[in-house]
Amino acid sequence: MKTSIITDLDLAKTFHSGQVFNWDFVEGAYLAPIGSTLYLLRQIDGGLAEVSLINGEWDDEALRCYFNLDRNYSEIYNEIAREHPELSAAVERARGIRLLKQDETEMLLTFILSQNNHIPRIKRSMYELKKLYGMELGTYQGQPYYGLPEYEVLSEMTERDFLELGAGYRAPYLVSAIRELPDLELSLSAPDLDAETIVNRLLKINGVGPKVAACIALFGYGSWEVFPIDTWVKKALKYYYGEAAEDKVFIKKKIRGFGPYKALVQQLMFYYMREGERDERRTKNQ
DNA sequence: GTCCAGGTGGTCA
DNA sequence: TGACCACATGGA
Residue A27: C-alpha distances to residues A44, A141, A163 (Å): 14, 10, 33
The sign one gets for the Cα dihedral A177, A182, A187, A190 is negative
The size of chain A, in residues, is 286
At residue A119, φ and ψ (nearest 5 deg) are -55, -45
List, for residues A120-154, the tens digit of each pLDDT value: 999 999 999 999 999 999 999 999 999 999 999 99
Q: How far apart are CA A33 and CA A176, in angstroms?
A: 26
List, for residues A179-238, the tens digit of each pLDDT value: 999 999 887 666 678 999 999 999 999 999 999 999 999 999 999 999 999 999 999 999
Residue with CA nearest C6 C1'? A169
Judge contact between A54 and A3, C-beta under 8 A. no
At residue A283, φ and ψ (nearest 5 deg) are -60, -45
Q: Where are the beta strands (DSSP E) in A88-215?
A: 136-140, 143-146
Q: Quote the pLDDT of residue A1.
A: 79
Tell me the CA–C1' distance in angstroms for A79 and C7. 42
| pLDDT bucket at A286, cuts 50 / 70 / 90 | low
List, for residues A55-70, the tens digit of each pLDDT value: 999 999 999 999 999 9
Q: Quote the pLDDT of residue A220.
A: 96
Work out the angle between the directed axes of helices A210-221 and A195-202 (0-180°, nearest 10): 130
Per-residue pLDDT, averaged over A77-100, amounts to 97
Please list the alpha-helical segments (H only) found in chain A.
11-15, 60-66, 73-83, 88-94, 104-114, 119-133, 151-154, 159-164, 171-180, 195-202, 210-221, 231-241, 248-257, 262-285
Kindly determine whether the C-beta of residue A19 is less than 7 Å away from any atom of nucleic acid strand B.
yes
Q: How far apart are CA A99 and CA A247, in angstroms?
A: 28
Q: How far apart are CA A30 and CA A256, in angstroms?
A: 35
List, for residues A230-260, the tens digit of each pLDDT value: 999 999 999 999 989 989 999 999 999 999 9
pLDDT at A280 over 90: no
Please list the alpha-helical segments (H only) found in A181-246.
195-202, 210-221, 231-241
Kindly determine whether the C-beta of residue A34 is less than 7 Å away from any atom of nucleic acid strand B.
no
Average pLDDT, chain A: 94
Nucleotide nearest to A166 (CA to C1'): C9
* Residues 14-43 of chain A sitting with CB below 7 angstroms of strand C: none
